[in-house]
Chains A and B, each alone.
Chain A
Amino acid sequence: MKTVNMQDGPMFSKGEKAVVVSCDMITAYGHGVDVCWDGIMSGRTAVADIDRFGTGAFQSGSAAIVNGLKYLGKDSLVLQMFKKIFDKHSEPAPKDSALVLASTKGEIDLLEKNLLSGEGDASESNLNNLLQKVEQLAGIKGGAMVVSAACASASAALARAAAMIRSGHKDCVLVAACDSVTEFVYSGFSSLMALDKFPARPFDRSRSGLSLGEAAGFVLLMSASRASKEGRQVLGEVRGWGLSDDANHMTGPSRTGDGLSLAITKALKSAGADEKDIGFISAHGTGTLYNDTMEIKSFKSVFKMNKKPVYSIKGGLGHTMGAAGLVEMIIALKALKEKTVPATVNFKTADDDSQGWASASQRPADENKCALLTNAGFSGINAALVLA
């Protein structure tokens, strides 16, 4: 296979640093960053049997869902989550902030409701409608766009937001991300034989699929100069990013991991970093046989014999699809702050590939090193972020 037009020049313009100044999220562990962090660190999974819809025809009957949401009610599941989040923040972002909304299926339960009961309008499930609702809830008017890149949607959105800030095009961007567990989504993943009937076990020898989860959240990114001017507390930095595609298969990752390696290499170059600067890896780690094998292959290709602590949070709060990158970034920043690499929930025994990379134990995070975050999705989409 030959690749043409590969860029040799310097990657990305030098410009403003994109820093995180605020964040919040709802996951199956509950509302808030600390609640989620504590859940993951406890080793307890939030994946449980669900009664939101019948699961008798599916591969599994469990998922990580948020308590207290009403399915097929007046508001969609993701809007209910966003309302809870933004109710808690009187001004989540300055009025001039741009909005980047990441999701795969957004308010797809509105379409389900219409087809099941004739209520409402199925076309209300269009992501543009959700974009306007989130813009109103957040009270911002600096322009808005949807970014959808399968299960790498949130990390791709964070990369776009950071690029806007680095280039000076914007100095404040609110990235919001969401997806929910509905019959539409659940039946689809089941049809692809992607679900584990037990809570997902990323990187474990006995893993046999993923567990779906739901989440919504936001990250407020600001240029370092504006954050300093406004006296904002800096929670972390999106130092670099890389996006790529396997160009290989619609639902399965490339067996070689080359596509993800390309995204990681781009992200390191974008961050002005090299392999030695990475302290740990927040992996996509879905728990499917192929994804986790592909990821470890890719990490070995980039980091060679220099093994890095790798973890996945999806055994705890499920695969939150279009929200995954945002939730995982918030947890990776928390791990940097706490100088602790979380254990992988439900991980017991490493397979031959992940030996020495994934662990059932928490590990210390190297001081002054960055975190690498990876995501992958249908169509072979890959995203990597370097966080500091």
Chain B
Amino acid sequence: MISITGIGWINEEEYGCILNEIKESYKDGVFPKKKIFPFSYKNIGRLDHVSRLTCAAVALALKDAGIECSPELKHDAGIISTNTSGSFDSDMLYFRDYLDSGRTLSRGNLFIYTLPSSPSGEAAIYFGLQGPLIYIAGKNNSMVNALRTAAEMLRDNEASLMLAGTAEADRAIYFVLKGECNSGGEALCNCDEVMKVLEKDLSFKELVDEFQNLRKGSKVS
């Protein structure tokens, strides 16, 4: 059985962890990097917005799952990312900037975020995630497909631990998945239950509420 052992989420006002029942506000608009990241993230300012949200949600998910992170540690953990718009905002930013220069100056620090896999790439670098890293998309609910893909990779032992999640311009949520042969630690539920919630096509706020309710229910039972 594949279990969900951590969920981290963030939007433009709040962030939290589901298993540890953390919910914090940052309505002042200042990105709370010191509260979210387990160790110094000096150059986070150079990341594009989606990458910042991705890294924050991954940080919260790993913290929720009780996974130790430090600059010295590498993990045999993969990451499957998805979203609806790919790298569209970064594509527009890069090419507009290039056109504004009179088509003479292109900026590498903008170009690197024009790949849809780049936000999870930033997370892999910061957290030392050395497993498979792919971005997937599709016309149906791609979040369910991302979780399914991560679960299949765990079942096939392609990595010891998998993360799957999504990040849009104003929100991100990431899940930590663990397989049977890597048990230990608390689990919220099995992966299928999370996929059932994701299939409901809820708003982001409703989704977080649903997982918080699931957590309360798991504690009662």
Contact residues of A with B, CB < 8 Å?
1-7, 9-13, 54, 57, 104-105, 108, 111-112, 115-116, 122-123, 125-128, 131-132, 143-150, 156, 160, 163, 166-167, 169, 183-184, 187-193, 242-251, 259, 262, 266, 377-381
Q: Is the CB of B117 within 8 A of A11?
A: no
Contact residues of B with A, CB < 8 Å?
68, 72-79, 84-86, 88, 91-92, 94-96, 98-99, 103-108, 111-112, 114-118, 120-122, 124-125, 127-139, 142, 145, 149, 152-153, 155-161, 181-182
Contacting residues, chain A, for B86 (C-beta < 8 A): 126-128, 148
Name A13's contact: one of B106, B130, B155 (CB within 8 Å).
B155
- Bound form: Cα–Cα A104–B119 in Å: 14
Name B105's contact: one of A5, A57, A122 (CB within 8 Å).
A57
Contacting residues, chain A, for B145 (C-beta < 8 A): 145
- Bound form: Cα–Cα A143–B136 in Å: 13
Q: Is the CB of B131 within 8 A of A145?
A: no
Contacting residues, chain B, for A10 (C-beta < 8 A): 157
Contacting residues, chain A, for B105 (C-beta < 8 A): 57
Q: Is the CB of B129 within 8 A of A245?
A: yes
What residue of chain A has the Cβ atom nearest to residue B102's Cβ? Answer: A57
Q: Is the CB of A259 within 8 A of B160?
A: no
Q: Is the CB of B117 within 8 A of A149?
A: yes
Q: Is the CB of B130 within 8 A of A243?
A: no
Q: Is the CB of B68 within 8 A of A262?
A: no
With contacts A12-B158, A145-B145 taken as known, whether A184 is within 8 angstroms of B120 at the C-beta atoms is no
Q: Is the CB of A247 within 8 A of B125?
A: yes
A269: min CB distance to chain B, Å: 9
B117: min CB distance to chain A, Å: 6
Q: Is the CB of B158 within 8 A of A191?
A: no
Contacting residues, chain B, for A249 (C-beta < 8 A): 125
Name B159's contact: one of A7, A127, A128, A192 (CB within 8 Å).
A7
- Bound form: Cα–Cα A11–B181 in Å: 12
For this complex, 14 residue pairs linking A to B, each with C-beta atoms less than 8 Å apart, are: A13-B155, A104-B115, A125-B91, A128-B138, A148-B135, A160-B149, A163-B152, A167-B152, A184-B91, A188-B94, A244-B130, A245-B78, A245-B121, A379-B121
Contacting residues, chain A, for B98 (C-beta < 8 A): 184, 187
B115: min CB distance to chain A, Å: 6
Q: Is the CB of A246 within 8 A of B95?
A: no
Q: Is the CB of B134 within 8 A of A144?
A: no
